[in-house]
A = this chain, B = another copy of it.
Amino acid sequence: MNTIGKRLTLTTAGESHGPALVGILDGFPSQVRIDMEAVQHELDRRHPVAPGTTARREPDRVQVLSGIFEGVTTGAPIALLINNVDAHPGDYDALRDVYRPGHADYTYAAKYGVRDHRGGGRASARETALRVAAGAFALQALEQRGIHISAYTSCIGSINRPVDHPVDMTDIYSRPMRSADADTDAAMAQLVSQIAADGDSIGGIVSGRISGLCAGVGEPVYDKFQAMLASAMMSINAAKGFDYGTGFEGVDRPGSQIAAVTGGICGGITDGGDITFRVAFKPVATMMRPLECRKADGSTVTITPGGRHDACIVPRAVAVVRAMAAITTLDALLLK
């Protein structure tokens, strides 16, 4: 449903064009001093000033309504509120009975018999603002334990990060595409500009790393660390794939070369090494082109999308991937 986690849980509510997003982060450890400016800063990072990203400019101010007393967590659930100040529900009236291909319009109607069609309603990626806010809390708790999580854009379309370049995370949030070096970032930005000019869209890959996590975290059979991580990543909008360690690219390399490469996990349990993983994102389904759609009554209609749409959501997804990795890691650590 709308909760993720076992010992640390995040429950979210709120539609894209409703009055607000509401999240409750429960099971968070007590006595953690929280830097609220850093939480807000993390939330701001979800809005890269990149070519082909959305024109929506919510200030996205997060309010904390509980669980913190005199700057320190109390162990009580942390309630997060983000008001939707830039909601324009009327923009979507033409889509009320329309099922756009590649969107969740039809599937929500099939499941619930009713839907809030405004801007994707509950299916919108706007929900991920709460994930980033909650993840910012988890990041602080982890950093206080010496655990660091990073994520960056490693691929957009056919442009991959050169394997022999070192990853440089220091300036990642100053680079529009959230790539690991300035040259790759520029090439990716150029590609996306062109895609946007064509009214088209493009996908890519976000790569992540968890460092400093001790051995012994994760469950051995069904809640393996990689299974929890995969589930968290595949719950992100537009995610189509997850792998870790040698992943899909290791299938054609013999065991004598890579068997000892664990990706930081063995038998579902961390071994103290860095955990490296990737998440693949599809091109978004809404493009600035006429789109033939089914309607609820079986007829078809051609829609020319208005509203606000990204040509490439991958740079925006970087903060979400990092947040979900943080929530999952802290949850697994608390389960230990």
Residues of A whose CB lies within 8 Å of any CB of B are 1-4, 9, 11-15, 18-22, 24, 26-27, 30-31, 63, 65-67, 69, 72-79, 81, 101-108, 110-116, 121-123, 127, 155-158, 195, 198, 200-205, 214-224, 226-235, 237, 239-248, 250-256, 258-263, 265-272, 278, 280-285, 287, 289, 336
Contact = CB atoms under 8 A, between A and B. Distances in A.
Contacts of A281: 251
A213 B256 CA distance: 41
Given A259-B101, A271-B106, A114 B287 contact: no
A2 B30 contact: no
Contacts of A27: 1
A74 B11 contact: no
A193 to B, nearest CB: 14
A4 to B, nearest CB: 4
Given A222-B1, A234-B242, A285 B259 contact: yes
Contact of A81 (B22, B228, B229, B237): B22
Given A12-B221, A227-B230, 7 more contacts: A1-B222, A2-B222, A14-B65, A101-B259, A107-B266, A230-B233, A259-B285
B26 A24 contact: no
20 contacts: A1-B27, A2-B24, A4-B222, A12-B77, A13-B26, A19-B63, A74-B116, A75-B111, A75-B112, A76-B121, A105-B266, A107-B266, A157-B251, A202-B254, A221-B235, A224-B235, A234-B242, A240-B243, A251-B282, A259-B287
A306 to B, nearest CB: 17
A309 to B, nearest CB: 10
Given A81-B22, A230-B234, A254-B201, A285 B260 contact: yes
B259 A280 contact: no
Nearest to A32: B114
Contacts of A260: 101-102, 285
A103 to B, nearest CB: 6
Contacts of A268: 104, 107, 123, 235
For the complex of A and B, 6 pairs with smallest distance between CB atoms:
A104-B267, A241-B243, A201-B255, A255-B283, A107-B269, A75-B112
Nearest to A111: B216
Nearest to A69: B116
Specify which of A240, A250, A253, A280 lies most central, judged by the most chain B CB atoms within 10 Å of its CB: A240
Contact of A24 (B22, B226, B230): B22
Contacts of A263: 240
A230 B235 CA distance: 10
B111 A22 contact: no
Contact of A3 (B11, B15, B107, B227): B11
Contact of A250 (B77, B231, B240, B336): B240
